[in-house]
Amino acid sequence: MIYTVTFNPAIDYVVWLDGLRPGAVNRARREFIQFGGKGINVSVMLGRLGVESTALGFLAGFTGRAVEQGLVQDGIKTDFIHLDEGFTRINVKLKGGEETEINGQGPAIPAGALEALFRRLDRLTGEDILVLAGSIPSSLPGDIYERILARLDGRGVRTVVDAEGELLRGVLPCRPFLVKPNHLELEAVFGRELRSEEERRACAGELRKRGARNVLVSLAGDGALLLDETGAFHRIAAPRGAVRNSVGAGDSMVAGFLAGWLNTGDYARALRLGVAAGSATAFSDGLASRAAVEELLRQGFPQA
């Protein structure tokens, strides 16, 4: 079973405007709601690709109940911890020429709730995969990802970490199965601009030396680069299409990669499905449908 953890889930309220005018009444041209948070996005996309998962994390208030109800209706298994105070955040995504985001804060997570999550994670075995994705609330310790991986050490659980900065650096000694920085996050880890393919490959190699078994670097419109645990590099360009949405594309890539790897055990084919899923979401208004992903796979990919 794949388990995803989302420490700070959200209701994403997405609004299209003809143009954003500060200080004036702005009327929506189109709108929709989706249930988000990086781990939740991974679970939703896995479900659309036919792979079962369980979404873990923390919910609060009426917005939290709405998130859980929506995921259950979408066929996603959940095992959330419900907090007594606060409410799950609402993020507003304004699309009016440029994308503007207003992200809510989310509830504080008390020590008892965190311990309840640890008890859930203690059930995981070598047959399971755990996905830790995204930022963490200020009420949690900054090394929470590292603490979780250390707690799972020796039990054979494959861990996937999609994070940046210290969250990413801290987990490397715990030998995660997969880390997925984007190209900007990779630059931030090493504190310099990476101008060439060779520099990106060298930095991916350094992450592997520090402990990551597989390093997947998303390159936005340029596709993705994978350094697998055998030391082999795989490079694929992104399919062609009009970008309509940046939210959830990286999470979709993680889900596609895991679905491809579980189905085939082949890293090149896993990368191909990962890039197709990430690109399909970028070309959609929300997380992509399975049909959209399969259509990109049929169309093929340009030469990297």
DSSP for residue 182 = B
String of DSSP letters for 8-62 = S-EEEEEEE-S---TTS----SEEEEEEE-HHHHHHHHHHHTT--EEEEEEEEHH
Helix (H), strand (E) at residue 152: helix 144-152
Helix 38-48 to helix 249-264 angle, to the nearest 10 degrees?
Answer: 50
String of DSSP letters for 244-278 = ---TTHHHHHHHHHHHHHHHH--HHHHHHHHHHHH
Question: Is residue 96 included in any domain, yes or no?
Answer: no
Question: Is residue 272 included in any domain, yes or no?
Answer: yes
Question: Is residue 273 included in any domain, yes or no?
Answer: yes
pTM: 0.93
The 3-state DSSP class for residue 198 equals helix
Question: Is residue 15 included in any domain, yes or no?
Answer: no
Question: Is residue 214 included in any domain, yes or no?
Answer: yes
> What average pLDDT score do residues 176-193 get?
92
Cβ neighbour number for residue 303 with a 10 Å cutoff: 6
The rounded percent of the chain whose pLDDT value lies above 90 is 79
Question: Is residue 229 included in any domain, yes or no?
Answer: yes
Asked whether the beta carbons of 125 and 156 are under 8 A apart, the reply is: yes
Which domain CATH number covers 258?
3.40.1190.20
- Cα–Cα dist 218/100, whole Å: 22
The 3-state DSSP class for residue 64 equals helix
- Is the pLDDT assigned to residue 293 strictly greater than 80? yes
Half-sphere exposure of 194 (CA within 13 A, CB side): 20
What are the tens digits of pLDDT across the range 234-264? 999 999 888 887 788 999 999 999 999 999 9
Give Cβ neighbours of residue 43 (< 8 Å, ≥ 6 apart): 2, 4, 53, 54, 55, 71, 76, 255
Confidence of residue 303 (pLDDT cuts 50, 70, 90): confident
What are the tens digits of pLDDT across the range 134-159? 888 888 988 999 999 999 999 999 99
Question: Is residue 16 included in any domain, yes or no?
Answer: no
Question: Is residue 179 included in any domain, yes or no?
Answer: yes
The 3-state DSSP class for residue 228 equals coil
For position 296, what pLDDT does the model report? Answer: 94
Total structural domains within the chain: 1
Helix (H), strand (E) at residue 190: helix 183-190
Mean pLDDT (the chain) is 93
- Cα–Cα dist 223/239, whole Å: 8
Give the domain extent around 112: 2-9+36-89+104-299
Catalytic position from the list 74, 251, 266, 285: 251
Residue 18 a catalytic site member: no
What are the tens digits of pLDDT across the range 39-92? 999 999 999 999 999 999 999 999 999 999 999 999 999 999 999 999 999 999
Confidence of residue 212 (pLDDT cuts 50, 70, 90): very high
For position 221, what pLDDT does the model report? Answer: 83
